[in-house]
Homo-oligomer: A and B are copies of this chain.
Amino acid sequence: MPADPVPTRLRLRLLFGTDAMLGPGKADLLQQIRETGSISAAGRAMGMSYKRAWSLVEEMNAAFREPLVQSARGGASGGGAQLTAMGEAVLAGYRRIEEIAAEAAGAEIAALAGFLRDMPDGK
């Protein structure tokens, strides 16, 4: 068989109770913060305003027992941010969940994708 004509991805979102949630956006943000060492740089890398990035960080820090992101302002480089141990754990956990789910449901997902029309768009 040829490479699958329609690459199918699985995105998942965890709903904690009524308000708190963790999805691909926050996970990617955590990862970018981890890589760039800055909330603003992470936001830029994702085409997201600093304000929005910061808001998401604030939500996450409030939702868990301990903050996921530790930030500092001032200093030589103006400040920065990095993941706490809790932040590392949550990010790793989310990635693991993604992987496990995609793996477990892979066959079913492929079956569904097989029902798709070949070219959904006009391309």
Closest chain-B Cβ to A66's Cβ sits at a distance in Å of 8
A11 near B9: Cβ-Cβ < 8 Å: no
A93 near B112: Cβ-Cβ < 8 Å: yes
Assembly of this chain: how many copies?
Answer: 2
Pick out which of these stretches binds chain B: A42-50, A69-77, A114-122.
Answer: A114-122
Contacts of A22 in B (CB 8 A): 112
Binding site for B on A (CB under 8 A): 6-20, 22, 62-66, 86, 89-90, 93-94, 96-97, 100-101, 103-105, 108-109, 111-113, 115-117, 120-121
Q: List 21 A-B contacts (CB under 8 A).
A: A8-B15, A11-B13, A12-B12, A13-B13, A14-B109, A14-B113, A16-B120, A19-B120, A20-B116, A62-B120, A64-B115, A64-B117, A65-B115, A65-B116, A90-B112, A93-B112, A94-B112, A96-B105, A97-B109, A100-B101, A101-B101
